[in-house]
Structure 1
Amino acid sequence: MLRYTLMRLGVFAGCLVVVWGLVYSGLAPRGLGASNGLWIVLLALVISAPISFVVLRGERDRASAQIVRKVDRMKAGIEANRAQEDVADDAARAQGQAS
């Protein structure tokens, strides 16, 4: 998951540098007044999102599979705890009825 996040940040950083260069060279429009920095960041976000979606597909699938495995392990652990509690509760009830 960390690898995917770092790759995604890398794609964004690359887009940020390219957009910054385009804006300051005059090939892309500047923002209004003092909003130039925000314009560059927003434009870089808009450009990096579809690039990340296409380029990082395999890494995203691996991260997703990793998350699914962790969730399944947590569910199994919760179910095992629940089963232990049920056994202990049944034993306590059986002992209480036998007295």
Structure 2
Amino acid sequence: MLRYTLMRLGIFVGCLVVVWGLVYAGVFPSGLGDSNGMWIVLLALVISAPISFVVLRGERDRASVQVVNKVDRMKANLEANRSQEDRADDATRAQGQTS
């Protein structure tokens, strides 16, 4: 999961540098008034999103498998705790009826 996040961040930073260079060179407009910095960041986000979607498909699939496995383990642990509590509660009730 961390690897996917770092790869996504790297793609964004690369796009940010390229967009900044293109705005500085005058290829892209520099935004309105004092919005130059925000314009560059937003444009880099818009460009990096589809690139990340296509390029990181395999890494995203691996990350989602890790998340699913972790959720499944957490559900199994929760169910084990519930059944353990139910057995302890049943045992306590059974002792109370025999007394």
Same fold (TM over 0.5): yes
CA RMSD of superposed structures (Å): 0.4
* Structure 1 residue 61, shift from structure 2 partner: 0.5
Aligned pair count? 99
Residue 24 of structure 2 corresponds to 24
TM-score, normalised via structure 1 length: 0.99
Residue 64 of structure 2 corresponds to 64
Q: Tell me, which stretches of 5 or more residues in structure 2 are unaligned?
A: none
Q: Give 4+ residue runs of structure 1 displaced > 4 Å after superposition.
A: none
Residue 77 of structure 2 corresponds to 77
* Structure 1 residue 33, shift from structure 2 partner: 1.0
Partner Cα separation in structure 1 for residue 77 and residue 59 of structure 2: 27
Partner Cα separation in structure 2 for residue 25 and residue 7 of structure 1: 27
Partner Cα separation in structure 2 for residue 94 and residue 32 of structure 1: 76
Partner Cα separation in structure 2 for residue 48 and residue 78 of structure 1: 39
TM-score, normalised via structure 2 length: 0.99
Partner Cα separation in structure 2 for residue 47 and residue 91 of structure 1: 62
Partner Cα separation in structure 1 for residue 48 and residue 55 of structure 2: 10
